[in-house]
């Protein structure tokens, strides 16, 4: 694999489009539903509340990012197979602060930072730029996770790829 996610987010101005908690894709909707169930009466679930066996069909479309504080940084730790196969770069294990296209001035950083500060799930719809010509965009929902109920120490992102229609493909 050439690897991980969000490769698509970075290199092109992430056309971030908040969708008021609405998305037409199933991985994002199912991921959000599971995350909400795991929240229970809390604002965010704990990492130990997340049971991979309960979201097994979604795992190929999941990214888990660890959040470091002081200074803020993001480190991609788990990336699903579908995301790996549709990506052109591998950023797993790299600090985003020092990774070109993902640092504090990038739109992907600002999107993650917003989730960390607001402690709420956030939908984004962005154009796809990667090695596959069959996709026109990506829908994501980024969900915060907190082991102490206060500080976001991970985010889990559910990703769906939106196929291009045949007319667009015929032109290429």
Cα–Cα distance, 124 to 18 (Å, whole number):
5
- How far is residue 80 CA from its own chain's centroid? 11
pTM, entire model? 0.80
* Residue 7, CA atoms < 13 Å, CB-side half-sphere: 20
pLDDT in tens, the chain (172 residues): 343 344 333 333 233 333 333 444 589 999 999 999 999 999 999 999 999 999 999 999 999 999 999 999 999 999 998 888 887 777 788 898 988 777 898 878 888 999 999 999 999 887 777 777 788 888 999 999 999 999 999 999 999 988 887 545 555 5
């Amino acid at each position: 694999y050439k690897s991980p996610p969000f490769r698509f987010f970075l290199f092109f101005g992430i056309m971030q489009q908040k969708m008021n908690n609405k998305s037409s894709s199933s991985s994002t909707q199912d991921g959000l539903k599971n995350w909400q169930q795991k929240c229970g009466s809390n604002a965010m679930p704990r990492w130990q509340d997340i049971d991979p066996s309960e979201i097994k069909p979604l795992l190929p479309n999941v990214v888990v990012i660890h959040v470091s504080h002081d200074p803020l940084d993001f480190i991609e730790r788990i990336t699903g197979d579908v995301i790996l196969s549709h990506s052109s770069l591998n950023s797993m294990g790299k600090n985003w602060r020092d990774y070109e296209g993902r640092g504090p001035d990038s739109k992907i950083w600002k999107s993650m930072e917003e989730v960390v500060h607001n402690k709420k799930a956030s939908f984004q719809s962005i154009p796809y730029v990667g090695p596959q010509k069959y996709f026109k965009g990506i829908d994501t929902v980024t969900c915060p996770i907190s082991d102490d109920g206060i500080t976001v120490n991970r985010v889990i992102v559910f990703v769906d790829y939106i196929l291009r229609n045949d007319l667009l493909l015929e032109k290429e």
